[in-house]
Structure 1
Amino acid sequence: MTTAFLFPGQGSQHPYMLRDLPAHPVITRTLAEASEELNESVAFWDAESELESTVAVQVCLLVSGVASARLLKEEKAFPDFVAGHSVGAFGAAVVAGALDFKDAVRLVRMRGEWMEKAFPKGYGMGVVLGLSEVQLKRLIDVHVTKANPVYLANINCPRQMTIAGAIPDLRRFMELALANGAQRTELLDVSVPSHCPLLHEVSLYLETELQRISFRDPDIPYASNRTARVLKTGEAIKKDLAWNVSHSVRWHEAICLLYELGTRLFVEMLPGNVLMGLVKNAFPTARALSISDNGMKTAAILVHRTRNN
């Protein structure tokens, strides 16, 4: 049996998430590395007022995810696979050994800045529960116009999807979804329309910037959230990080792939606990836990047990 480390994306943030990290030299060093790259203390980026910024949210998620994975490694708890949801893919690439952490900090900062610049206000994402991908796509094809586009952004599990677009268009579409069998809809705490063609230009900027950075082939297999395939070269991961921001996250397929490859323990890095629930929903026989709910020690013990079985 194998273990996968999962890195959460936007929506998992909470105030003081970095200051809530365990007191440990590995955590201190990780925060110091990020602060050096940012030329200011990242520890203050997790204040409630700061997390209104997409830039701060994404950088804090990267730092938190990498710090928690490094602490597990300090406990000799190693993953067999890594996967990241949305911006969590950058943390997965770092822990896989394909990308240097400082380069990731700089890239994620620019990614957030470009996203905010492209859509400073009036856009976001929503969740639709209870409809299948086919049903949701049919509603989009029949009812959505080019003048008021709504896009399928994330396929998180068979009946949990997210959509992206302008807030008024999202509200109208969510009402339509409820009228056509959806169980629940709500706007997410995301201020940009991620994972849809609206961010094509951001992907182009990222692609250009990524060409200036050296990537290595990963030491740990990296599962793409965009293609739901294991990527084994640094160049493939580089392309994935550039283009996942403007393509749908096929998270459920990525988790299915890891399960098919023998993964039976899924450990969600700080600060999230949503990905754990998605795994449990898809594969009740697998073990899924989050460090935020279960603690670092419990996670390390279970990783050791799984790898030794």
Structure 2
Amino acid sequence: MSVLYTFPGQGAQRAGMLHALPDDAAVAATVAQAAETLGSDPLLLDTESALASTRAAQLCLLIAGVAMARSLAAHGAVPAMVAGFSIGEYAAAVVAGALDFADAVHLVARRGQLMEQAYPSGHGMAAIIGLDSAQLEALVAKVHSAATPVHIANLNARRQIAIAGSDAGLQAVMALALANGASRAERLAVSVPSHSPLFDAAAQQLQAAFENVTVRRPQLVYLSSSAARALFDPERIGDSLAFNMARRVHWVDTVRLAWERGARLAVEMPPGSVLTRLTAPEFGDGVAMSCDGNRIENILTMVSKVGGGSR
């Protein structure tokens, strides 16, 4: 049995998320390193107004995930596996030892900037609950066009799927979904059409930034949620990170893979507990829990009980 750390994606961000992190040396050092890399104080990025920026939201998620994992490591708790959702894959790569934190900060800042510039308005994402992927694919096909682009984006759970595209395309698919048996259809707190071919060009630009970055073989099992596979080759990890903004997230399959590889405790790094709710149904008699809402002593006790995730 082993421990999986999960790192949430955009949409999980909330005001004050960096200020809510543990008040310890590991967190302070991580925030200070981010400040040095950015040349500005990252603690100014987690206000409600600042988080409206894709760049700010993604940087905060990266910093929060790495800082919390380092805080747990300082107490002797480390995972055997890591998996991130979208931007969370960058935090996972840092914790796995595949990517330097400073490089990740530079890359995520560039990623957020590229995504923001490509679609400053008129696009976003929505969640459809109650339909499977085949049912939703058929509805998307009825709406998708050059004028109303919309795509399947995130396979979060068996019947919870996110779509990405233009505002008009999203609204049309949401209406069709509700008329065809979906229990819910709602817009997400994401202002860009992530994980769709609409970001192919931006992903190619981000790939160029990876030419100046060293990606190493991970020291932990690194599960790519865009590939739903364990990746060990540095070149493949770099490719996965660069292009994940334009590729679907296969979260449910990634969680199942972690289970099959022996993970029995999934601990979600802050903020929030979205991934915990998505992971729990796939974890059988295992446990999925989030750092938010749990005392660090409880998390450390659970990691120690499961074993294979502490040193």
Q: Aligned runs of 1:61-100 on 2, under 5 Å? A: 61-100=61-100
Cα displacement string for residues 120-179 of structure 1 (whole angstroms, at most 9, x for unaligned residues) = 011100000000011111212234333312100000010000000111221111001100
The count of residues paired between Structure 1 and Structure 2 equals 309
Following TM superposition, by how much is the alpha carbon of 1:294 offset from its aligned partner in structure 2, in angstroms? Answer: 1.4
- Structure 1 residue 113: Cα displacement: 0.3
> Which residue identity is paired with 2:107?
L
Q: Scaled by the length of structure 1, what TM-score is found?
A: 0.98
Deviations 1:264-307 (A, max 9, x none): 10000011201001111233422000000213221111111111
Cα deviation, residue 308, structure 1 = 6.1
The residue that corresponds to 1:195 in the other structure is: 195
Q: SS state of the match for residue 293, structure 1?
A: coil
2:128–2:174 CA contact under 8 A, matched in 1 = yes
Which AA in structure 1 matches 2:223? A
CA–CA distance in 2 between the matches of 1:110 and 1:22?
A: 27
Report 1:41-60 matches (<5 A): 41-60=41-60
Q: Report Cα offsets for 1:62-113 as digits up to 9, x if no partner.
A: 0000000001111111101000000000000000000000000010000000
The one-letter amino acid paired with 1:4 is: L
1:297 corresponding residue in structure 2: 297
Q: Residue 12 of structure 2 aligns to a residue in which SS?
A: coil
Helix, strand or coil: the match of 1:219?
Answer: coil
> How far, CA to CA, are the matches of 1:162 and 1:295 in structure 2?
31
Q: 1:128 to 1:233 in 2, by over 3 A?
A: same
Q: Which residue in the other structure is 1:125 paired with?
A: 125
User: Which stretch shows the higher mean deviation, 232-241 or 57-66?
Assistant: 232-241
Q: 1:308/1:90 Cα in 2 relative to 1: closer, same or farther (>3 Å)?
A: closer
- What's the secondary structure of 1:275's corresponding residue? helix
Q: Which runs of 5+ in 1 are unaligned?
A: none
Q: TM-score, normalised by structure 2?
A: 0.97
Amino acid at match of 1:259: W
Verify: 1:2 aligned to 2:2, yes or no: yes
Report whether the alignment pairs 1:27 with 2:27: yes
1:156 aligned residue = 156
2:237 — aligned with what? 237
Are the equivalent residues in 1 in contact too, given 2:143–2:172 (CA < 8 A)? no
| Structure-2 residue corresponding to 1:227 | 227
- Quickly say closer, same or farther: Cα 1:143–1:122, change in 2 above 3 A: closer
Stretch of structure 1 that moved more, 141-150 or 239-248: 141-150
Provide the C-alpha distance between the structure 1 equivalents of 2:297 and 2:203, rounded to a whole number of angstroms. Answer: 38
CA distance in 1, matches of 2:283, 2:25: 36
Distance 1:174 1:235 in 2: 38
State the superposition RMSD in angstroms.
Answer: 1.1
